[in-house]
């Protein structure tokens, strides 16, 4: 990084674990996907890592606390957060692992919803926020990891409005139907939206998240970009990679070589199936044991010729479902070994412990098959590590279609973890797969993994974070600041021939459906009247509404009107902009009607020269799908009929080509030599106005977002305050 900003990484656990044994403090590097993944990356930056030390604060005194902090800062570039036994119980074992983990892994039957756990989650997120604030500078880059800290982005955003904040979720983001079960779902989403960039492993998780954001908070997105107030938030997929070179080269390491020899001695020429997982119900360990048993039953010729190495890493042993699972695994292994084992052959070798790298790599290396049957898995790094260790060598990966890794490892044998027959058949297929085929499949996957390794992943994430910030700055560059507003008012005061063009819905009043709900309030009428009565002003309102509605509302004011997006205009009398046809309606109306019938909450509005399908009140996902389908259906027809299909704010409108607000505005623009031109609008249809204005005109988009307008204001309220100044200026 060329600038002096720090990179602050925040995760539940630091890459170092602190332990107290027999009164002495020990430090050791933690295992686990994240620590392994980021380890190589974060050292290359001017960075600091914040996280829980792993030791409960009740077990250490103040002096120990200080010495731990100093040692971590000096030797590991880390800053510890101390949690009490109670915090760990309620926050970590509680809300994180009894509420979020089961819901996000599609185990709602295991989830508990308990206010005291939620309160603790909020409290610990605040502790993290306080800790970050002790080290952070206003413009630092902060990268927050995983489901333990989903409230942290917003807590930090409130204190550091200019910081670049990224969030990455390592576990799946569930479908809306699951996510909505959590009583505090909105608070969680709001917490995440404090980040500038929200990253997931796969595009599916991105979609699920965006749907939840839309349904729960009403946030819409364009290509994964969400605008909230004056902020731009990007949501995107970054499939986490591994430290490829480390695994690729592992078999050259003498320690690994020795270990490989050892294993070979014990295995003889038997085939080895390997299973590596943390102890977790989401990993489908029981399912693979069951499938292995079925495989032996169906293929008795493999009895005595295959060994299943089951490596299970202890995890969350104090949470009840994990303890139960451990018992079930023990029983299942015992049963299978009891049923099939002989005096000189034990089908399953079961290890329940963590292993040092060289032993894990040796296991990857000697195994013929890796069997991964996660019921849900954010990514699954084990599958990638296995493939990386197999450079130029054979080995077959059997991978669950429920693991995020499947997106990149399509050459593996893909299985549904709930289908025991399919897994048993996959084992058989893997056993029989020709060596050349194994190598050629692996090569394709290796190229991919080598290219998008963990460093590239991390760099990609940070680069995207910078880009979002730049984009936000660009949008912000157009915001009508007080200084710019003063200049505009100055120009207004000095001019004598002013043209003021205003859109109506979404610009002067909030969107509403019926004319009754949307009619102008008395304050607005008073202001428009005052502006119109100034002899130097020509005020025009151009709207998509029918001419009858505009006439009713504004007919008595001394202003120009454009109705139906400019199909009709009124200076003194209403007039058609050009000879227009509407005989096409007979063909288009039945199509819109069929959509209306199948889409509860939608309705059709008929204007003289257009037909509009409104879907504001339709269930949001259905609305998006239907709107897309309808546009596709219409596009085929409308080109031949000389029609245009236009998407407005929750409407799709069909009308004659050549009718648009810009064309109507040209009528007024060409009338005089104006010395002040002003236009304000909010949606796509107003872009046609902005497009025809002279360069020096003051064009304003209400709301942030990409626009041809020169300036943005944040809200209708801001625009009305500005217009109020027109009224007041003399």
Residues marked as catalytic: 503
Count of CB atoms within 10 A of residue 64's CB?
Answer: 16
Q: Which of 355, 433, 525, 706 binds ligand ADQ (CB under 6 A)?
A: 355
Q: Which of 13, 231, 246, 278 binds ligand ADQ (CB under 6 A)?
A: 278
The token pair that represents 348 in the structure block: 């399953």
Q: Shortest approach of ligand ADQ to residue 200 CB, angstroms? A: 10
CA gap 706, 684 in Å, rounded: 10
Residue 362 binds ligand ADQ, judged by CB under 6 A: no
The token pair that represents 117 in the structure block: 């756990």
Quick check: 465 and 434 in contact, CB under 8 A? no
Quick check: 386 and 274 in contact, CB under 8 A? yes
The torsion angles phi and psi of 385, rounded to 5 degrees, stand at -65, -40
Q: Shortest approach of ligand ADQ to residue 362 CB, angstroms? A: 12
Q: Which of 5, 6, 30, 32 binds ligand ADQ (CB under 6 A)?
A: 32
Q: Shortest approach of ligand ADQ to residue 459 CB, angstroms? A: 16
Q: What is the DSSP string of 329-342?
A: HHHHHHHHHHHH-B
**Strand spans (E) along 361-453:** 369-372, 396-400, 413-415
Residue closer to ligand ADQ (CB basis): 227 or 362: 362
Quick check: 101 and 171 in contact, CB under 8 A? yes
Q: Shortest approach of ligand ADQ to residue 91 CB, angstroms? A: 18
Quick check: 241 and 346 in contact, CB under 8 A? no
* Interface map 159-178 toward ligand ADQ (x if CB under 6 A): -----------xx-------
Query: Applying CB under 6 A, which part among 19-27, 42-50, 352-360, 541-549 lies near ligand ADQ?
Result: 352-360
Query: Applying CB under 6 A, which part among 220-228, 295-303, 372-380, 718-726 lies near ligand ADQ?
Result: 372-380
Residue closer to ligand ADQ (CB basis): 34 or 499: 34
Residue 354 binds ligand ADQ, judged by CB under 6 A: yes
Residue closer to ligand ADQ (CB basis): 169 or 665: 169
Residue closer to ligand ADQ (CB basis): 382 or 634: 382
Residue closer to ligand ADQ (CB basis): 95 or 238: 238
Residue closer to ligand ADQ (CB basis): 319 or 381: 381
Task: Tell me which residue of 347, 344, 320 sits closest to 336, measured CA to CA.
Answer: 347
Q: Which of 144, 211, 311, 375 binds ligand ADQ (CB under 6 A)?
A: 311
Let me know if 609 is exposed, middle or buried by CB neighbors in 10 A (0-12, 13-18, 19+): buried
Quick check: 275 and 288 in contact, CB under 8 A? yes
Residue 360 binds ligand ADQ, judged by CB under 6 A: yes
The alpha carbon of residue 492 and the mean position of all alpha carbons in its chain are separated, in whole angstroms, by 44
Residue 35 binds ligand ADQ, judged by CB under 6 A: no
Q: Which of 7, 197, 382, 454 binds ligand ADQ (CB under 6 A)?
A: 382
Quick check: 541 and 554 in contact, CB under 8 A? yes
Contacts of residue 246, Cβ cutoff 8 Å, sequence gap at least 6: 40, 357
Residue closer to ligand ADQ (CB basis): 364 or 584: 364
Whose tokens are 């908070």? That residue is 217
The token pair that represents 383 in the structure block: 């599958």
Residue 430 binds ligand ADQ, judged by CB under 6 A: no
3-class DSSP assignment, residue 264: helix
Q: Which of 20, 33, 460, 619 binds ligand ADQ (CB under 6 A)?
A: 33
CA gap 391, 322 in Å, rounded: 35
Residue 377 binds ligand ADQ, judged by CB under 6 A: yes
Query: Applying CB under 6 A, which part among 12-20, 33-41, 432-440, 535-543 lies near ligand ADQ?
Result: 33-41
> Pairing relation of β-strands 574-576 and 676-681?
unpaired
The torsion angles phi and psi of 14, rounded to 5 degrees, stand at -75, 170
Query: Applying CB under 6 A, which part among 26-34, 131-139, 291-299, 336-344 lies near ligand ADQ?
Result: 26-34
Residue closer to ligand ADQ (CB basis): 231 or 278: 278
What are the b/e assignments for 25-54, b being 16+ CB within 10 Å? bebeebbbbbbbbbbebbeebebbbbbbbb
Residue 379 binds ligand ADQ, judged by CB under 6 A: yes
Q: How many residues bind ligand ADQ (CB under 6 A)?
A: 22
Query: Applying CB under 6 A, which part among 28-36, 117-125, 537-545, 606-614 lies near ligand ADQ?
Result: 28-36
Question: Which residue ranges make up the site for ligand ADQ (CB under 6 A)?
Answer: 31-34, 36, 170-171, 240, 276, 278, 311, 313, 354-355, 360, 377-382, 385
């Amino acid at each position: 990084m060329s600038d002096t900003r720090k990179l602050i990484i925040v995760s539940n656990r630091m890459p170092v674990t602190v332990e107290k044994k027999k009164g002495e403090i020990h430090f050791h590097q933690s295992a686990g996907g994240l620590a392994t993944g980021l380890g190589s990356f974060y050292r290359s930056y001017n960075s600091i890592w914040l996280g829980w030390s792993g030791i409960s604060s009740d077990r250490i005194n103040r002096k120990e606390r200080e010495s731990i902090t100093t040692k971590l800062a000096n030797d590991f570039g880390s800053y510890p957060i101390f949690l009490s036994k109670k915090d760990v119980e309620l926050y970590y074992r509680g809300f994180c692992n009894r509420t979020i983990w089961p819901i996000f892994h599609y185990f709602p039957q295991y989830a508990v919803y308990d206010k005291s756990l939620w309160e603790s989650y909020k409290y610990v997120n605040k502790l993290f926020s306080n800790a970050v604030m002790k080290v952070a500078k206003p413009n630092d880059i902060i990268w927050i990891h995983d489901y333990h800290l989903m409230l942290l982005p917003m807590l930090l955003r409130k204190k550091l409005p200019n910081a670049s904040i990224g969030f990455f979720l390592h576990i799946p983001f569930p479908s809306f139907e699951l996510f909505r079960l959590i009583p505090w779902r909105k608070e969680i989403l709001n917490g995440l939206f404090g980040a500038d960039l929200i990253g997931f492993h796969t595009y599916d998780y991105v979609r699920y998240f965006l749907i939840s954001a839309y349904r729960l908070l009403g946030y819409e997105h364009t290509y994964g970009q969400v605008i909230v107030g004056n902020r731009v938030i990007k949501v995107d997929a970054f499939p986490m990679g591994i430290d490829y070179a480390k695994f690729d080269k592992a078999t050259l390491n003498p320690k690994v070589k020795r270990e490989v020899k050892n294993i070979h001695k014990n295995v003889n020429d038997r085939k080895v199936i390997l299973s590596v997982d943390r102890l977790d119900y989401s990993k489908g360990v029981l399912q693979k044991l069951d499938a292995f048993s079925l495989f032996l039953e169906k293929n008795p010729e493999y009895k005595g010729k295959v060994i299943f190495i089951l490596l299970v890493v202890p995890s969350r042993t104090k949470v009840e479902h994990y303890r139960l699972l451990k018992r079930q695994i023990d029983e299942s292994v015992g049963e299978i070994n009891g049923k099939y084992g002989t005096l000189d052959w034990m089908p399953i070798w079961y290890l329940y412990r963590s292993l040092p790298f060289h032993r894990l790599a040796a296991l990857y290396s000697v195994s013929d098959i890796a069997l991964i049957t996660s019921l849900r898995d954010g990514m699954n790094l084990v599958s990638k590590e296995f493939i990386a260790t197999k450079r130029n060598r054979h080995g077959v990966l059997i991978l669950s279609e429920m693991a995020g890794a499947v997106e990149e490892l399509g050459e593996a044998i893909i299985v549904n973890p709930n289908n025991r027959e399919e897994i048993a058949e996959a084992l058989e297929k893997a056993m029989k797969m020709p060596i050349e085929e194994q190598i050629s499949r692996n090569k394709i996957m290796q190229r991919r993994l080598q290219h998008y390794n963990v460093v590239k992943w991390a760099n990609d994430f940070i680069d995207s974070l910078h880009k979002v910030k730049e984009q936000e700055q660009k949008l912000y560059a157009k915001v009508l600041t007080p200084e710019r507003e003063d200049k505009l008012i100055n120009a207004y005061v000095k001019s004598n021939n002013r043209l003021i063009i205003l859109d109506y819905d979404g610009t002067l009043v909030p969107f509403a459906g019926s004319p009754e709900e949307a009619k102008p309030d008395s304050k607005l009428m008073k202001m428009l009247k005052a502006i119109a009565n100034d002899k130097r002003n020509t005020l025009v309102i151009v709207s998509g509404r029918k001419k009858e509605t505009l006439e009713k509302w504004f007919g008595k004011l001394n202003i120009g009107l454009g109705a139906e997006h400019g199909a009709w205009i009124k200076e003194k009398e209403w007039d058609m902009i050009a000879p227009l046809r509407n005989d096409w309606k007979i063909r288009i109306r039945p199509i819109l009607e069929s959509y209306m019938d199948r889409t509860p909450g939608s309705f059709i509005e008929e204007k003289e020269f257009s037909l509009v399908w409104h879907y504001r009140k339709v269930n949001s996902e259905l609305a998006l799908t239907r709107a897309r389908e309808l546009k596709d259906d219409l596009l085929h027809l409308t080109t031949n009929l000389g029609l245009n299909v236009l998407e407005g704010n929750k409407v799709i409108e069909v009308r004659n080509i050549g009718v648009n607000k810009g064309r109507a505005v040209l009528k007024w623009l060409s009338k005089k030599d104006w010395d002040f031109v002003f236009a304000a609008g909010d949606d796509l249809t107003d872009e046609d106005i902005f497009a025809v204005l002279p360069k020096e005109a003051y064009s304003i988009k209400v709301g942030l977002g990409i626009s041809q307008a020169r300036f943005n204001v944040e809200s209708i309220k801001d625009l009305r305050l500005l217009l109020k100044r027109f009224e007041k200026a003399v």
